[in-house]
């Protein structure tokens, strides 16, 4: 399409006139190129035109030259609008394969927790399904919280990617990939907070169920340090967390809830691209850089204190996360298009979420010793 004609499902030229003077509209495959000159600075231009294209389900960027197609006259620019696709384009095979591998990984680890011998009967692997359901239920619910809110705010995001790893957990967690820009602080907050709150809801359910199941014996000495939230759930249900018999621990389903609490605390660290980083960026704007800078120092300080007070392998996790936090702080948070302040209700929800996160914290999570 040449000339100034614009399809009916895209912004009209006159809707852009206050921020971008359009000389011509062209197509380049599925893209629309609005060729012209900015009438305002690039920051103001983005704030003006991005929400407009977002309403028409387009992602837009300002380019000196288009990636393909006819060359522009010297000094001209193009607003390159590409249709957004929020649905699934075919079967997400990578997600499916990783999910299947993670199911197998957690089943394998679950057989260790339950003391199941799969040597003579490989199908007995399936008997560890409660552990797998608990762990993946908590992780999956957390990530689906992010995904649902992303779809609600029309931000392009992938389905969860589970990460198989045959450790004591059977997995290294799950993530979703955000492919679209965040329109405003409300969307950034909602997407960031939805994961921890949804995950904690699943964690509470899984933990209560697990506390009512029979304890098990494990072939190693394992000491869990219980976060406040787990202690509260134990008190409410009247179920114990410790047993006098050697190597006897609570049902592995409870460990799925314990893992959910631990991951929630880590995700709520207020730095970079973590959920906590999204939440504080939405709550406090660009002032969060000060908070993010303090997080690595706090983690290194916690690790150093515990190393002196309780020398042991379990404290090294805080040094590892201190290094990770440094990288996340350097990369910076996600900046929304519209940086208008957050409303009071969301601010209150944010504070409550961080308090719940603190209830999931324990300084030395796990201590393991050879039997």
Per-residue pLDDT at 370: 45
User: In whole angstroms, what is the distance from residue 281 CA to residue 291 CA?
Assistant: 10
Specify the higher pLDDT residue, 85 or 333. Answer: 333
Judge whether 231 and 361 are in contact, CB under 8 Å. Answer: no
Per-residue pLDDT at 228: 96
Per-residue pLDDT at 65: 59
Judge whether 218 and 245 are in contact, CB under 8 Å. Answer: no
Per-residue pLDDT at 350: 97
Per-residue pLDDT at 42: 80
Average of per-residue pLDDT across 177-205: 93
Average of per-residue pLDDT across 327-345: 89
Query: Could you report the per-residue pLDDT of 274-291, keeping only the tens digit for each?
Result: 999 999 999 998 888 888
CA angle (167, 168, 169) in 5-degree steps: 85
Q: What is the 3-state secondary structure (H, E, C) of the chain?
A: CCCCCCCCCCCCHHHHCCCEEEEEEEEECCEEEEEEEECCCHHHHHHHHHHHHHHCCEEEEEECCCCCCCCCCCCCEEEEEEECCCCCCCCCHHHHHHHHHHHHHHHHHHHHHHCCCCCCCHHHHHHHHHHHHHHHHHHHHHHHHHHHHHHHCCCCECCCEEEECCCCCCEEEEECCECCCCCEHHHHHHHHHHHHHHHHHHHHHHHHHHHCCCCEECCCEEEECCCHHHHHHHHHHCCCCCCCCCCEECCHHHHHHHHHHHHHHHHCCCCCCCHHHHHHHHHHHHHHHHHHHHHHHHHHHHHHHHHHHCCCHHHHHHHHHHHHHHHHHHHCCCCCCECCCCCHHHHHHHHHHHHHHHCCCCCCCEEEECC
Query: Could you report the per-residue pLDDT of 291-321, keeping only the tens digit for each?
Result: 888 999 999 999 988 888 765 556 788 999 9
**Total-model pTM:** 0.86
Q: How confident is the model at residue 108 (pLDDT cuts 50, 70, 90)?
A: very high
User: In whole angstroms, what is the distance from residue 113 CA to residue 135 CA?
Assistant: 13
Query: Could you report the per-residue pLDDT of 250-260, keeping only the tens digit for each?
Result: 889 998 999 99
Residue 236: is its pLDDT beyond 50? yes
Residue 222: is its pLDDT beyond 70? no
Per-residue pLDDT at 131: 95
Per-residue pLDDT at 59: 84
Per-residue pLDDT at 169: 85
Judge whether 302 and 311 are in contact, CB under 8 Å. Answer: no
Query: Could you report the per-residue pLDDT of 61-92, keeping only the tens digit for each?
Result: 888 754 444 444 445 788 888 887 766 667 88
Specify the higher pLDDT residue, 261 or 314. Answer: 261
User: In whole angstroms, what is the distance from residue 58 CA to residue 54 CA?
Assistant: 5
Strand arrangement of the beta sheet that strand 20-28 belongs to? 20-28, 31-38, 77-83, 58-63
User: In whole angstroms, what is the distance from residue 109 CA to residue 170 CA?
Assistant: 6
Judge whether 73 and 139 are in contact, CB under 8 Å. Answer: no
Q: How confident is the model at residue 5 (pLDDT cuts 50, 70, 90)?
A: low
CA end-to-end distance (rounded Å), the chain: 74
């Amino acid at each position: 399409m040449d000339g100034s004609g614009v399809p009916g499902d895209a912004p009209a030229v006159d809707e852009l006139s206050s921020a971008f003077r359009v000389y011509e509209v062209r197509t380049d495959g599925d893209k629309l190129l609005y060729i012209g000159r900015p009438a305002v600075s690039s920051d103001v231009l983005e704030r003006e035109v991005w929400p407009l294209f977002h309403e028409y389900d387009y992602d837009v960027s300002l380019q000196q030259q288009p990636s393909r197609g006819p060359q522009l006259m010297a000094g001209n620019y193009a607003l390159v609008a590409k249709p957004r696709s929020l649905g699934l384009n075919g079967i997400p095979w990578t997600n499916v394969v990783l999910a299947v591998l993670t199911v197998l990984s957690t089943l394998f680890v679950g057989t260790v927790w339950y003391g199941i011998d799969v040597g003579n009967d490989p199908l007995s692997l399936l008997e560890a399904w409660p552990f797998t359901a608990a762990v993946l239920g908590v992780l999956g619910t957390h990530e689906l919280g992010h995904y649902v809110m992303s779809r609600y705010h029309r931000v392009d995001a992938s389905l969860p990617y589970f990460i198989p790893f045959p450790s004591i957990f059977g997995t290294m967690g799950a993530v979703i990939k955000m492919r679209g820009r965040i329109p405003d602080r409300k969307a950034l907050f909602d997407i960031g907070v939805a994961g921890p709150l949804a995950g904690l809801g699943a964690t509470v359910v899984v933990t209560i169920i697990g506390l009512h199941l029979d304890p098990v014996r494990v072939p190693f000495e394992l000491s869990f340090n219980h976060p406040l939230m787990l202690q509260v759930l134990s008190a409410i249900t009247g179920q114990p967390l410790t047993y006098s018999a050697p190597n006897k621990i609570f049902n592995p389903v409870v460990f799925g809830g314990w893992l959910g609490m631990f991951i929630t605390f880590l995700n709520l660290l207020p730095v970079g691209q973590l959920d906590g980083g999204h939440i504080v960026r939405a709550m406090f704007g660009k002032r969060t850089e000060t908070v993010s800078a303090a997080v690595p120092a706090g983690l290194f300080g916690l690790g150093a204190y515990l190393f002196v007070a309780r020398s042991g392998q379990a404290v090294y996790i805080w040094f590892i996360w201190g290094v990770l936090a440094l990288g996340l702080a350097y990369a910076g948070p996600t900046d929304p298009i519209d940086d208008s302040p957050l409303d009071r209700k969301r601010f209150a929800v944010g504070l409550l979420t961080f308090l719940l996160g603190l209830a999931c914290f324990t300084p030395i999570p796990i201590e393991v010793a050879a039997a």
